[in-house]
């Protein structure tokens, strides 16, 4: 498990142990990865984050079209693997959780433990977000630093 934000580590480790999730991403609503577990390649992480953020954005628009303010979660059930996606609020803004699980768990258990994870993240989050302006000339360096933090390379 890798995290860009150290305060995410404890709550995420507990969630992983309780839920039996195979792959997990925590990201901002724009798809910036905050923490990941189970992904072997950075390309897979970035692709999953971009797709997860896009799915939640389009799902938000569908909710609006049918008169809902938002949907609380989204589940895709496959033959062997299932995906749970859910947006949530933190003191650091809106984040999205993407969880891949299999027959060792159920959507009900994943949702139960995910709800606990959200409560723990909100409690653990520093209240003051560090102000960091991303400049074009430092973007690549900051991106590489985040990838090193997530993959230990």
Give me the tens of pLDDT residue by residue for the chain, a chain 153 residues long: 888 888 999 999 999 999 999 999 999 988 889 999 988 777 788 889 899 999 999 998 999 999 988 888 889 999 999 999 999 999 888 999 999 999 889 999 999 999 999 999 999 988 765 556 556 666 677 767 766 666 665
Residue 118, pLDDT score: 96
Question: What is the DSSP-derived secondary structure letter of residue 79?
Answer: S
CA distances to 55, 57, 72, 143 from 60, in Å: 8, 5, 10, 28
Residue 131, pLDDT score: 54
Residue 39, pLDDT score: 80
Whole-structure pTM value: 0.80
- The domain spanning residue 33 has which CATH number? 3.30.450.30
Range of 72's domain? Answer: 2-151
Which backbone phi and psi does 74 adopt, to 5 degrees? -140, 135
Buried b (16+ CB within 10 A) or exposed e, 56-91: beebbeeeeeeeeeeeebbeeeeeeebbbbbbbebe
Residue 44, pLDDT score: 85
- Beta carbons within 8 Å of 62's beta carbon, 6+ residues apart: 71
Residue 46, pLDDT score: 86
Number of domains in the chain: 1
């Amino acid at each position: 498990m890798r995290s860009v934000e150290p305060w995410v580590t404890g709550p995420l480790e507990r969630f992983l142990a309780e839920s039996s999730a195979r792959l997990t991403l925590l990201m901002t609503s724009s798809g910036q990865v905050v923490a990941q577990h189970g992904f072997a390649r950075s390309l897979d992480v970035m692709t999953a984050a971009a797709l997860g953020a896009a799915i939640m954005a389009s799902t938000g628009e569908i909710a609006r079209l049918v008169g809902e303010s938002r949907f609380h979660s989204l589940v895709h059930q496959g033959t062997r693997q299932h995906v749970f996606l859910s947006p949530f609020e933190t003191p650091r803004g809106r984040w999205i959780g993407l969880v891949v699980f299999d027959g060792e768990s159920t959507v009900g258990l994943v949702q139960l433990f995910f709800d606990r994870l959200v409560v723990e993240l909100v409690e653990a989050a520093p209240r003051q977000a560090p102000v960091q302006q991303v400049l074009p000339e430092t973007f690549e360096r900051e991106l590489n630093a985040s990838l090193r933090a997530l993959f230990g390379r």
